Structure formats: structure tokens, C-alpha cells
Amino acid sequence: MTTVTRTFTVDPAPAVVLDYLKDFTNATEWDPGTESCVRTDGTGPVGVGARFHNVSKIAGMSTELDYELKTLTHDTLVLVGTNDTATSTDTITVVPGPGGTGSEITYEATIEMHGAAKLATPVVKLVFEKVGNDTEDQMTEALNRLR
């Protein structure tokens, strides 16, 4: 299992940040690996149980995962994506920023490889540390455009 965590601050308030991030179709704007992400459970408000199909390219390799929004509270959301070779759990916690302005975000991505893919776990860790840095930069930029 590989876990990558980043904590950073952005300008918008926590409610604005969570409202944006809970709609995983927005990952095309904040996740550097995401090529496409579509909602697959229908329309209407995004809430627990919402499902998304995500196509990503990381280190030159394409992968597709089906995600579900498992948790959505006033300060946390958890998205779990699965396919035959991996389970990816993204936990995002958003609290008021230092001094009560903006938001402090803790983004934790846990990737668990399955079957023969487990042999790649050490390489996955190296790749996802770089992806974590890129995600922090791109998510900060995308969120700071919100008002």
C-alpha cells in the first residue's frame, strides 16, 4: 500500500472548497493525471453514493477507475476508486485556514495494488510522491480561481 499526503492552504472558504471537490468531474481541472471524469449515477445533487468513471494517465500509463463518493461531511470527503488491479482512496479534509481565513486542505491518496500488480508497489510509491506534488500545485491553482 502506498500513501501520499499533502497539506496546504487556499483562499476560498471550506464550504466553497468542499462543494467544488465533491463533484469529482472537476478532477480534470485539479488532478494532473486525470484525462476525463464523468458522473455515472445520473444527475442531481452530488452526495454520498455518487459515482464517477475516471480515466487517468500517470507515468505514461493509462488507467480507468470507477469511483464512489463514500463520505461527505462538513469538513471531509472520501472518494474510493477501484479496478481489477488497484483501489485508490482519496481523503480530503478541509478546515478553516490559519487566522480563520481561507482553507487548510489535507489531501491523502492511498493506493493499494492487487494481485500481481502488488509487485509494482515500490515503484508506485516513487511515482505517486511526484504526482502528490503536482496535484498540490494544480489543486491550489484551481481552488484559488473559485470565489
Across 23-32, 42-51, 108-117, least confident range: 108-117
Q: Which long-range contacts (CB under 8 A, 24 or more apart) does 91-98 make?
A: 92/18, 92/21, 94/14, 94/17, 94/18, 94/21, 95/14, 96/13, 96/14, 97/9, 97/10, 98/9
**What pLDDT band is residue 37 in, cutting at 50, 70 and 90?**
very high
pLDDT of residue 147 exceeding 90: no
82-138 pLDDT per residue, tens: 999 889 999 999 999 998 899 999 999 998 877 655 555 555 555 566 667 788 889
At residue 91, the pLDDT reads 98
At residue 130, the pLDDT reads 62
Within 10 angstroms of residue 64's Cβ, the number of other Cβ atoms is 12
47-77 pLDDT per residue, tens: 999 999 999 987 677 889 999 999 999 999 9
Its pTM stands at: 0.89
